[in-house]
Chain A
Amino acid sequence: MPTADATDWGFASELEDVSGAVAIVGIGDADYTRASGRTTREIAAQATERALADAGLRPADVDGLMYVPFSGDQFAARDFHAHFGTSHALWESERGGGMVWAGSAPHDAALAIRSGRASCVLNTFAVAWATQRSQMVGGPGQVHAEDMIKRQLEVPFGWFPQPVYFATIARRHMHEFGTTAEQLGAIAVACRRHAGLTPSAVMRDRPLSLADYLASPLIVDPFRKEDCCLISDGGAAYIMTSLERARDLRQPVVAVLGVGVGNSRTGTYWSQQGAFTSTPQVFAAPGAFAMAGLGPGDVDVLACYDPFTIVSLMQIEDMGFCPKGEGGPFVAGERLHFDTGTLPYNTHGGMLSHAYVLGIAHVVEIVRQLRHHAAAQVRAAEIGVYGGYTGPQASTLVLARR
Chain B
Amino acid sequence: MDADFPLPDPDWAPACELWAGAARGVLRIPRCDGCGRFVWYPGTPCRRCGGSDVTWCDVSGRGRLFSWSVVRHAWIPQVTDRLPFVTGLVALEEDPAVRLVTYVVDCTPEALRCDQPVRVVFRRLSYPGVAHTIVAPLFTPADT
Contact = CB atoms under 8 A, between A and B. Distances in A.
Contacts of A1: 37-38, 94-97
Interface string A155-180: 11111110110011101100100000
B109 A221 contact: yes
B11 to A, nearest CB: 10
A160 B5 CA distance: 12
A402 B43 CA distance: 50
Chain B CB within 10 A, most for which of A4, A151, A223, A266: A151
9 contacts: A154-B101, A156-B125, A163-B75, A167-B69, A168-B69, A169-B67, A175-B67, A274-B97, A276-B66
Contacts of B3: none
Contacts of B8: 151-153, 155-156
Chain A, interface size category, equals 35 or more
A144 to B, nearest CB: 11
Nearest to B127: A156
A228 B123 CA distance: 32
Interface in B87-110: 87-89, 94-99, 101-103, 109
Contacts of A3: 96-97
Contacts of B75: 141, 160-161, 163-164
Contacts of B136: 156-157
A271 interface: yes
Nearest to A267: B44
Contact of B67 (A155, A157, A168, A269): A168
B76 to A, nearest CB: 7
Given A153-B101, A157-B136, A271-B101, A219 B73 contact: yes
A157 B6 CA distance: 9
Given A153-B8, A158-B79, A160-B76, A221 B114 contact: no
Contacts of A2: 97
B7 A156 contact: yes
Given A271-B101, A272-B99, A274-B97, A168 B89 contact: yes
Given A157-B103, A269-B41, A218 B97 contact: no
B89 to A, nearest CB: 5
B9 interface: yes
Nearest to B36: A1
Interface in B46-101: 47, 66-73, 75-76, 79, 82, 85, 87-89, 94-99, 101
Contacts, number: 124
Interface in B1-42: 1, 5-9, 12, 14-15, 18, 37-38, 40-42
A154 B109 CA distance: 20
A160 B6 contact: yes
Contact of B69 (A152, A156, A221, A272): A221
B87 A148 contact: no
B103 A158 contact: yes
A157 B114 contact: no
Contacts of A223: 69
Given A1-B97, A156-B8, A220 B102 contact: no
Interface residues of B, number: 51
B103 A218 contact: no
A217 interface: yes
Contacts of A219: 72-73
A7 to B, nearest CB: 14
A392 interface: no
Contacts of B69: 164, 167-168, 171, 220-223
Contacts of B18: 153
A272 B95 CA distance: 12
Given A160-B76, A168-B88, 7 more contacts: A2-B97, A153-B41, A155-B5, A159-B89, A171-B69, A172-B67, A220-B71
A249 interface: no
A168 B12 CA distance: 27
A149 interface: yes
A267 to B, nearest CB: 9
B12 A148 contact: yes
Contacts of B72: 217-221
Chain A CB within 10 A, most for which of B42, B67, B75: B67
A243 interface: no
Nearest to A1: B95
A334 B89 CA distance: 34
Nearest to A142: B1
A145 interface: yes
A168 B68 contact: yes
Contacts of A169: 67
A222 B125 CA distance: 25
